[in-house]
Amino acid sequence: MPTSPSSMINQYKFEDESELRDLFITVDDPESHITAIETFITYRVVTKTSRSEFDSSEYEVRRRYQDFLWLKSKLEEAHPTLIIPPLPEKFIMKGMVERFSEEFIETRRKALHKFLNRIADHPTLTFNEDFKIFLTAQAWELSSHKKQGPGLLSRMGQTVRAVASSVRGGVKNRPEMFTEVNDYMETFSQKINVLDKIAHRIYKEEREYFNEMKEYGPIHTLWSASEEDIADSLKGVASCIDKCCKATEKRMAGLSENLLPIIHEYVLYSEILMGVLKRRDQIQGELDSKVDALANKKAEKDLITEEIGKLEDKVECANNALKADWDRWKQNMQYDMRSAFTNVAENNLRYYEECLATWESFLTSQTAALHVEEDSEDRP
C-alpha cells in the first residue's frame, strides 16, 4: 500500500479527494409528485462550488430519475470511450421491493448521490457542459435544453451501428492492451455476478436467523415464570439472546448498507465497461473500413486520406482516454473492494465481540452466585 504523500495525491480516492475538490454535490429529500398522468419522485440536488465557470457558488435543483438517465446518455455520447459511472436500475424485480417503498427510494437516492459524485471526481467528466446544466438549470431550462441535440432515435442508431460493427468483426487491429482488458472484464464480470448472488444469500440467511432468534429469547422468559430457583438464570439467558439478536440485526444492516450496494455497482460497471470496449472497437472499425476503402478505390484518394487522418486522431484519442480511465477505474475498484470487505469483517468482529461480552457477563454472574452458595454451605 502506497504511503508517500505524493502517491496519495495521485490516487483518485473519493474521501481523500475532498481536500482537492472544488465541487460538492448532495442528493437528498425525495419527494413524491402526483399528476393526472403519472406519479414520480424528485430528489433535491444541492451543489456547492468555488469554480469560476459557475455563476453562483450554490445551487439547489430538483431532478427526477429520467433526468439522470438523460445526463448519463449525454455523457456517453460526448465521451464514448470513458467509463461513465453506473446509475441505479430502473426497477428491481428481485427482493420484491415496491417501486415507491421507503427502502427502494433510499437505496436509489444513495446510488444517485454516488453517481453524481463520481462524475464530479472524474478529471474529464467533471467539466462536461451537460453536467453543469444538470446541476444548475431550473426545471424548465433543463426541459428546453434536453429537446436540443440528437434525439432518441439517432442515439439508438448509434448503438445499433456499434453492435453491428462489432458483429462484423471490426476488431482486427485491436491493440494488445485492449484485448487484455476485454479478457479481464469477461472474467471479472462473471466473478462479480457470483459475488452479488453470494452476498445476497448471506443477507437472506442472516435475516432468517434473526427472525428465529427473535422468538428464542422470550421462551426462556416464559419458562422463568414457572420456576423459582432457576428463574434468574433463565431470565439471564433470555436477556443474552435478545442482545445477540439486536447485534445480529446491526450486522445485517451493515451488509445491506455497504457490501451489497458496492458489489451491485460493480456488476453494473462490468456491463458499462463491455460497452466502452465495444464503442472503442467501433471507432477503430470506422478507421479500418476507411483504410480498406483507400486500398480499393482509385478515385477520391485525397479525400479518403484526409478522412483517414481524422479517424486516426479519433482512434488515438479514444484509446488514450480509455487507457487513462481504465487505470483509474482499476485503482478505484481495488479501493472500493478493499474497504467494502474490510467493513464486512469489522461488522462481524463487532457482532462477535458484543455477543461475547454479553455471555461472559452472564457467566460471571452465574458462577459468582454458585460460589456464594458453596461458601454458605461450608459454614457449619
Partner 1 sequence: MESAAAEPSDSRPREEAAEEKEEEEDGDGAAAAPRSGPPPAEQPPAPAAATMEDCLSKKIEITVSEAEKRTGRNAMNMQETYTAYLIETRAVESQNEGQCSPVDSLWRRYSEFELLRNYLLVIYPHIVVPPLPEKRADFVWHKLSADNMDPDFVERRRIGLENFLLRVASHPVLCQDNIFYSFLTQEGGWKEMVNETGFQLKADSRLKALNATFRVKNPDKRFTELKHYSDELQSVISHLLRVRARVADRLYGVYKVHGNYGRVFSEWSAIEKEMGDGLQSAGHHMDVYAASIDDILEEEEHYADQLKEYLFYAEALRAVCRKHELMQYDLEMAAQDLTSKKQQCEELATGTVRTFSLKGMTSKLFGQETPEQREAKIKVLEEQIQEGEEQLKSKNLEGRDFVKSAWADIERFKEQKNHDLKEALISYAVMQISMCKKGIQVWTNAKECFSKM
- Among 23, 119, 240, 311, indicate the residue that binds partner 1 (CB under 8 A): 240
Using the contact rule CB under 8 A, the part of the chain among 26-34, 202-210, 288-296, 305-313 near partner 1 is: 202-210
Among the listed ranges 137-145, 282-290, 297-305, 360-368, the one in contact with partner 1 (CB under 8 A) is 360-368
Total residues in contact with partner 1, by rule CB under 8 A: 56
Which run of H or of E encompasses 199?
helix 176-224
**334, burial (CB in 10 Å: exposed 0-12, middle 13-18, buried 19+):** exposed
Q: Would you count residue 274 as binding partner 1 (CB under 8 A)? A: no
Q: Single out the residue of 73, 106, 110, 93 nearest to residue 262, CA to CA.
A: 110
State which of residues 103, 348, 371, 372 lies at the interface with partner 1 (CB under 8 A): 348
Phi–psi pair at 83, nearest 5 degrees: -90, 100
Nearest to 176 by CA among 319, 31, 361: 319
In this structure, what C-alpha cell is assigned to residue 25? Answer: 454535490
Written as one letter, the residue type at 331 is Q
Is 90 or 191 the residue whose CB approaches partner 1 more closely? 191
CB of 343 to partner 1, least distance (A): 9
Q: Is the CB of residue 213 less than 8 Å from the CB of residue 245? A: yes
CA distances from 44 to 29, 63, 109, 114, 356 (A): 6, 6, 10, 14, 43
Cβ distance to partner 1 smaller for residue 66 or 342: 342
Count of residues in the chain: 380
Stretch that binds partner 1, among 66-74, 260-268, 272-280, 362-370 (CB under 8 A): 362-370
Residue 367 binds partner 1 (CB under 8 A): yes
15 is a site residue for partner 1 (CB under 8 A): no
The answer to whether residues 71 and 101 touch, using CB atoms and an 8 Å cutoff, is: no
Rg for the chain, CA atoms, rounded? 29
Question: What DSSP line would sit under 245-281, residue for residue?
Answer: HHHHHHHHHHIIIIIHHHHHHHHHHHHHHHHHHHHHH
Contact letters (x/-) for partner 1, 292-331, by CB under 8 A? ----------------------------------------
| Stretch 134-163 residues interacting with partner 1 (CB under 8 A) | none
Encoded one letter per residue, x for contact with partner 1 by CB under 8 A and - for no contact, window 204-223 reads -xx-xx-xxx-xx--xx-xx
16 binds partner 1 (CB under 8 A): no
Does 253 sit near partner 1 (CB under 8 A)? no
Shortest Cβ distance from residue 241 to partner 1 (Å)?
9
User: Is the separation of the CB atoms in 241 and 224 below 8 Å?
Assistant: no
Element at 331 (helix H, strand E): helix 301-378
Q: Determine, following the binding rule CB under 8 A, whether residue 237 of this chain makes contact with partner 1.
A: yes
**342 counts as binding partner 1 under rule CB under 8 A:** yes
The mark string for 158-197 relative to partner 1 (x by CB under 8 A, - otherwise) is: --------------------------x--xx--x--xx--
CB of 228 to partner 1, least distance (A): 8
Bridge partner residues of 34 (DSSP):
39
Helix axes 65-78, 102-121, angle to 10 degrees: 30
Using the Cα atoms of residue 301, residue 307, residue 310 and residue 311 in order, give the sign of their dihedral. negative
Shortest gap between Cβ of 7 and partner 1 (angstroms)? 14
Q: Which residues are at the interface with partner 1 (CB under 8 A)?
A: 1, 184, 187-188, 191, 194-195, 198, 201-202, 205-206, 208-209, 211-213, 215-216, 219-220, 222-223, 226-227, 229-230, 233-234, 236-237, 240, 244, 334, 337-338, 341-342, 344-346, 348-349, 351-353, 355-356, 359-360, 362-363, 366-367, 370, 377
